[in-house]
Amino acid sequence: MDFEPTERQVYWRDRVKNFIEDHVRPAVPTYKQQDATGERWKVIQVVEDLKAKAKGEGIWNLFMPPRNDGHHHVDESYDFEGPGLTNLEYALCA
């Protein structure tokens, strides 16, 4: 059996890894600061900013591939964003 990742798997894994290193880890102090202030249940702005940045870089909502098993998603009218990675491909990014 060949357990080497495919080029597609390496590509997405590395994009996510680089995003975490370049944007998420440096934002942790800001997250902690924003989390410590105000109400307990709130939207934390730095998280919203990172989500927008991830969407802009095409690494948001990587999963939800089209089904190929004869079944359909609940609502086929919805067009999923992202590359539609399989569970195996997504596992390397998670």
pLDDT, tens only, 39-92: 889 999 999 999 999 999 988 877 765 555 655 555 555 566 677 777 778 788
Cα-based distances in Å from 26 to 19, 23, 38, 93: 10, 6, 22, 19
Q: Are 49 and 31 in contact (CB under 8 A)?
A: no
Alpha helices in the chain (DSSP H): 7-19, 25-36, 45-56, 87-91
pLDDT, tens only, 26-45: 999 999 999 999 888 999 99
pLDDT given at position 76: 58
- Is pTM, for the whole model, over 0.85? no
pLDDT band at 7 (very low <50, low <70, confident <90, very high): very high
Domains in the chain: boundaries: 7-69+76-91
